[in-house]
Amino acid sequence: MIDPRILREDPDRVRASQERRGASSDVVDRALSADSARRAAIADFEAKRAEQKQMGKKVAQAKGEEKQQLLAEVKDLAKAVKEAEAAQGVAEEEWKKALKAIPNLADDAPAGGEDDFVLIEKVGKPRDFEAEGFEPRDHVELGKLLGAIDLERGAKVSGSRFYFLTGVGAELEFALINLAMEQAREAGFTQVIAPALVRPEAMEGTGFLDQVDDGVYKIEDDDLYLVGTSEVPMAAYHSDEILDPDTLPRRYAAFSSCFRKEAGSAGKDTKGIIRVHQFEKVEMFVYTTLEESYAEHQRLLEWEKSFLDKLELAYQVIDVAAGDLGPSALRKFDCEAWIPTQGKYRELTSASNCTTFQARRLDIRARTENGTTPVATLNGTLTAITRAIVAVLETHQQADGSVRVPKALQKWLGREVLEPIQK
């Protein structure tokens, strides 16, 4: 959640953020109203409690008929105190609910929706297959030629948007994971294998609970959720903890399987493995101070770019518009790789600064000279396997259907070229 002081002291800043997101500012007014009601309820309860204490002293000193009359008043007052306490509890819950409805402040993100991103830079140049004298195959055809991707059996066993990675396809996944973890280790990240199932508290704390209907799978009988990213378990990793500031930043590189319904993406990318229900990912996650989070955000972006450079891909970096941000993010940078057969750039990585938004919900603080303060959290994709495979296969294909292996992956794959299988 946002800092309540900002809401109280500068509500126009919150309204401006909502406008940048293309969202209603009604949530701001509701939260302010709920805050006023909460404060009034607290004052009413405290006033009645004080009156009750004073009445108790009078009863102790009174005698006879006066005492009996006071005892009757005390009984009525006790009932009023209990009612005021209950009203305060309701007001507190309404306040928390109203505050949680406000997304993070998108002060620096471009205004607008999905198409209003700002291009930061383009890296590399897309291959000119026409000049090379052949038409590129898409990753589905290449996957068949290489014996790397089996969509038909994926659909037979599990349904649409599922797949098998076989042979060099499976090897390519492990190679990408190893390369990502190697880079993370060299950058000082602690490697983690994260759970793919989490409790509701973790989903709510990271701001994903509102996406259950469209994007998140729920295991009803066990009240658990399948994560769409290891950002969720890693954000909750230090929940309800007070961290030593000398240990910040804490950087983790977490591997997990990820699950997404893609219910809101009907008709999009139904062919191939760009948009699927299950995939593996290596996610960078950082705990740091609010002041340092902005520089750390840039560092996450640089680590993502470094990985894409190792894959020898052409890509662009964009500053995502406010209306396309999730509720937790203050700002997000995407790296989009050129996909030859689609003739456009597609998202491969994202890096988000969530400032103290998630930490406030999950109660993650750092001890300072002036007490404790919420930490900042950031997340960044190092590699989302299926999309990385698509980009590598299509970018480095050759006329005969073979695929050149980027140099950085060669030691993990043990070969320089992926050859079509013999029929």
Q: Looking at 298-412, which runs of residues are DSSP E strands?
A: 315-319, 331-339, 344-353, 364-368, 371-374, 376-384, 403-404
Across residues 312-331, what is the average pLDDT? 96
Q: Which of 181, 120, 112, 115 is nearest to 335 (CA)?
A: 120
Q: What's the pLDDT band for 62 if we cut at 50, 70, 90?
A: low
Tell me the CA end-to-end span of the chain in Å, nearest whole number. 57
Give the DSSP H/E element, type plus range, for residue 279: strand 278-288
- Which tops the pLDDT comparison, 181 or 63? 181
How would you list the strands of the sheet with 224-226, edge to edge?
A: 197-198, 224-226, 217-219
At residue 60, does pLDDT exceed 70? no
Other Cβ atoms less than 10 A from the Cβ of 87: the count is 17
User: H/E/C letters for each residue in 187-247?
Assistant: CCCEEEECCCEECHHHHHHHCCHHHCCCCCEEEHHHCEEECCCCHHHHHHCCCCEEECHHH
Q: Which of 179, 139, 136 is nearest to 308 (CA)?
A: 179
At residue 210, does pLDDT exceed 80? no
| Euclidean distance between CA atoms 66 and 62, whole angstroms | 6
Q: Active-site residue numbers?
A: 260, 275, 347, 350, 387
How would you list the strands of the sheet with 364-368, edge to edge?
A: 241-243, 364-368, 371-374
- The CA-based diameter of the chain, rounded to the nearest angstrom, is 110
Give 72: exposed, middle or buried? Use CB within 10 Å, 0-12, 13-18, 19+.
Answer: exposed
* pLDDT at res. 76: 75
Share of the chain above pLDDT 90, in %: 83
Other Cβ atoms less than 10 A from the Cβ of 210: the count is 16
Q: Which of 205, 212, 207 is nearest to 329 (CA)?
A: 207
* pLDDT at res. 281: 97
In this predicted structure, which of 55-64, 127-136, 327-336 has the lowest mean pLDDT?
55-64
What pLDDT, in 10s, does the model give residues 236-292?
999 999 999 999 999 999 999 999 998 666 677 778 999 999 999 999 999 999 999
SS3 call for 35:
helix
Structural tokens at position 182:
């190697």
What pLDDT, in 10s, does the model give residues 402-415?
999 999 999 999 99
| Euclidean distance between CA atoms 355 and 378, whole angstroms | 7
What pLDDT, in 10s, does the model give residues 238-250?
999 999 999 999 9
Residue type, 392: V
Q: What is the CA radius of gyration of the chain?
A: 27
What pLDDT, in 10s, does the model give residues 64-99?
666 667 667 767 778 888 888 899 999 999 999 999
What pLDDT, in 10s, does the model give residues 369-391?
888 999 999 999 999 999 999 99
- According to DSSP, the β-strands at 190-193 and 250-259 are parallel
Q: Which of 352, 375, 304, 303 is nearest to 106 (CA)?
A: 352
